[in-house]
Amino acid sequence: MMAQTDYMPCTYCNSREHGGEIFSGLDKQLHKVCWKEDCRAKHKRESSSVSFQEKMKLKMLHKCYYEDFYGYCESKAVKGGTLCIDHLTRRCDMCGGQAFKICKYRGYKDCNKPLCMLDFHSHKNDP
């Protein structure tokens, strides 16, 4: 099936060039983004709004939207809250505030530490 996706046109510029990255869009269909810089920039913008919409949906369904390496938790959120009991107790590794995600850094040693909405680890100097 891989060969077929090679001939998919880029969703943004319609170029049928080989290579690029396959992703599933809001319409749940497979799309392709080529390696051109502006196509990748558009895709990045779009996919961050996808995760925003996903979060809003989970919020409305009262499901926990704590994000770990495998995606959103989706357990039942505590009454009036947006996270499950388990994740409500996670504290940001940087500021000690409520954590909403883990650091997805994968390296010599995986990070996995909880972080709030705003903080992130750079891991620039890690091996």
Residues at the site binding Zn ion, with contacts judged by CB under 5 A: 10, 12-13, 15, 34, 36, 39, 64, 66, 73, 75, 84, 87, 92, 94-95, 97, 103, 105, 111, 116, 119, 121
Closest by alpha carbon to 83, among 69, 103, 66, 58?
66
Nearer to Zn ion, 50 or 104 (CB): 104
Cross-strand partners of 63: 76
Nearer to Zn ion, 4 or 122 (CB): 122
Q: Which residues contact 99 (CB under 8 A, 6 or more apart)?
A: 66, 87, 90, 91, 92, 93, 114, 115, 116
Q: Measured from the CB of residue 17, what is the shortest distance to Zn ion in angstroms?
A: 8
Q: Are 107 and 123 in contact (CB under 8 A)?
A: yes
Nearer to Zn ion, 24 or 86 (CB): 86
Q: Measured from the CB of residue 78, what is the shortest distance to Zn ion in angstroms?
A: 10
Q: Measured from the CB of residue 12, what is the shortest distance to Zn ion in angstroms?
A: 5
Q: Which residues contact 96 (CB under 8 A, 6 or more apart)?
A: none
